[in-house]
Structure 1
Amino acid sequence: MVVCGVIGAAVTAALDEIVFHQILHWHHFYDRSTPGVGLLSDGLLHTAELLALVAGFFLYADLRRRRALAPAHALAGLFLGAGAFQLIDGIVDHKLLRLHQVRYGVDVTPYDWAWNLAGLVLLGVGGALAVRAARRSRARSVA
């Protein structure tokens, strides 16, 4: 589950960086300095997400090779990682550290709500999938 959690967080970070940083130009990872520092911070975020994605897929492939992959647990981990990234970004990066906002020049309240609720939904789906996977694993081990 942890391996796919890393993949889920990396994919969500990539989507955030590609859509909100590059395509929409709403913000950089660190917006409290010059545009050059903002671009550098985006590059560092992109490097970290890419390394996490590659490492996650190598570990995933190793689990498959060893026949230790539990697909239901893997799917739960994917959603849990995605939701964790979303909430950490929304609460820690946006509100506590104030590294950046979702968007500038507008009332950020609806954007913050949407961002954090999306993270909670992803976590909820991951949690439900994890409970279901654990129940199925227990039922198989008892049978």
Structure 2
Amino acid sequence: MGSNSNHASSALVKRNKWSGLLFGIGLAAFIDETVFHQLLRWHHFYDQSTTDVGLISDGFFHAFSWFATIGGLFLFADLRRKRGLSLKKWWGGVLLGAGFFQLYDGIIQHKLLRIHQIRYVENVIVYDLVWNIAAVVMIAIGLLLLWRRGKEA
């Protein structure tokens, strides 16, 4: 019986991490798309074509962010229903997901693929550093929350 209990507990911990990870990815993508694409109009998801193509790419990116967010929330609701929610593990997953999304965006999309830049200005390195350092900080805090032992919140 103890083995089944440990397996169930391990599955719930993984589910907390996945729920948070999906929600974090979706939330970071949603904030990126809303703030930097729509409100500030610094760039589109794909800037290597016409404005129309950029706007269409933003629409697909927005849909992706909502699918990830809602998927994470469905898992969250299931964890609450099963009384298996660990807010510490969940928030660790959220920060890890948001940080990984932001670091992927900053390194892969901005620099390697060059499908867009965070902002089209002379001294873009300042924006890149702030973007990527913030991502690393989120990842570090997320990992700390996931690895810390102690009372589950």
The two structures share one fold, judged by TM-score above 0.5? yes
Q: CA deviation at 1:105?
A: 3.1
Distance in 2, matches of 1:108 and 1:94, equals 11
Corresponding residue SS for 1:136: coil
Distance in 2, matches of 1:121 and 1:114, equals 10
Corresponding residue SS for 2:150: helix
Alignment partner of 1:104 out of 93, 114, 120: 120
Distance in 1, matches of 2:85 and 2:122, equals 45
Superposition map of 1:11-22 within 5 A: 11-22=27-38
Q: CA deviation at 1:54?
A: 1.1
Report the residue type matching 1:124 in the other structure.
A
Alignment partner of 1:128 out of 144, 147, 151: 144
Alignment partner of 2:73 out of 52, 57, 61: 57
Distance in 2, matches of 1:73 and 1:107, equals 38
Q: How many residues align?
A: 136
Q: CA deviation at 1:72?
A: 1.1
Q: 2:8 aligns to what?
A: none
Q: CA deviation at 1:129?
A: 1.1
Alignment partner of 1:37 out of 43, 53, 57: 53
Q: Deviations over 1:6-27 (max 9, x none)?
A: 1011111111101100011100
Q: Deviations over 1:37-60 (max 9, x none)?
A: 000000000001011111110111
Structure 2 gaps, min length 5 = 1-16
Q: 2:44 aligns to what?
A: 28
Distance in 2, matches of 1:39 and 1:50, equals 17
Q: CA deviation at 1:106?
A: 2.6
Q: 1:94 aligns to what?
A: 110
Alignment partner of 2:129 out of 113, 132, 136: 113
Distance in 1, matches of 2:36 and 2:50, equals 18
Q: 1:67 aligns to what?
A: 83
**TM-score, normalised via structure 2 length:** 0.85
Q: CA deviation at 1:88?
A: 0.5
Whether the 8 Å CA contact 2:26–2:65 is kept in 1: the answer is yes
Q: 1:10 aligns to what?
A: 26
Q: Deviations over 1:62-98 (max 9, x none)?
A: 1111112222111111110110111000011101111
Structure 1 gaps, min length 5 = none
